[in-house]
Structure 1
């Protein structure tokens, strides 16, 4: 009688290769509805994994046996995306970055994978959500949104919208979409919103300028 044999590859890539605390977990899996060969680059598997490990914002490397590699930042997942287990014969492998891994007691599919959104040094925590076939992920602040930490308890996600009208019109435009027009708390936020180039912005708040405010007339 023949019995099926399943091979599990669960590789932890050394943290010493990274500039910050992180581990890559490799296993046979794929992202639903996406293939590395469609928009990936030809990169050797080990180089693909190491590239993601050393990239501050990368959280996932996705590879196939043909040598194609794709890297994903947390901000890339603007919609709920599923990561599913596949057999080795399918030819797909993923490497997930984590700084908090809890080894499963029973099935390896119960493994916990968590990391942080490192954009602008916010280090906002997130976790891959377990489901019946694997895991799902969705960014709390997908690109082109920008995440900022204002205090230990307040983290905001800011996105630019191109709009012509008054400040009140802009405020209503945001509210109609369930959003809130935000102010600028510091120079880093201002630089991100303006790309470092002085320009007019509709923002929340008021000014005490006696006349028209100049670009340099700001106080954080």
Structure 2
């Protein structure tokens, strides 16, 4: 067979590239095994597990003295250990929530109110947050009240209902002596009240929750 005839057969085989087994075998013969495998990657065998893409999580926070930031970092650490892809950023450093499946947001709470930048974030990104799984926490209680849930501010409670979030989680805070000089009332509360076991348990709840769907529903997560 001449080289011209071989080239003609090859061109005919390329034009007949269809999905039937017989046609596939013809393509293999005329295009070569390597080229065929490049154009038609091997299908997964029945016993081969599907490698699901890890969910992406944003952990973001508004902090005043650093305690909320450290809690956010701990949550991020736990979720990475559970197999998620996680970014931890202060609220002012978050360009968008679009890349994320799950958003965890925390704020320090002072005199019964969240820091304003945290509330603004929820309002600004409200439309996109409605199609994601959103978890909220606040930190701040000290001393004898460190184990008591703090009431959720009315504006945050309203947004949480709109986003259908789980209950807002309260974490105890951390008050350093150098920020309460000459304040007798606050000096009695100085100390680190953060409960890292509590942080770990709540993070595990997030990790085991149903996986969000961008379409608005949920399906079971497997981690």
| TM bin (shorter chain) | under 0.3
Kindly indicate which of the two structures has a greater share of residues assigned to strand: 1
TM-score normalised by L of structure 2: 0.22
Kindly indicate which of the two structures has a greater share of residues assigned to helix: 2
TM-score normalised by L of structure 1: 0.23
Task: Please identify the structure whose Cα radius of gyration is greater.
Answer: 2
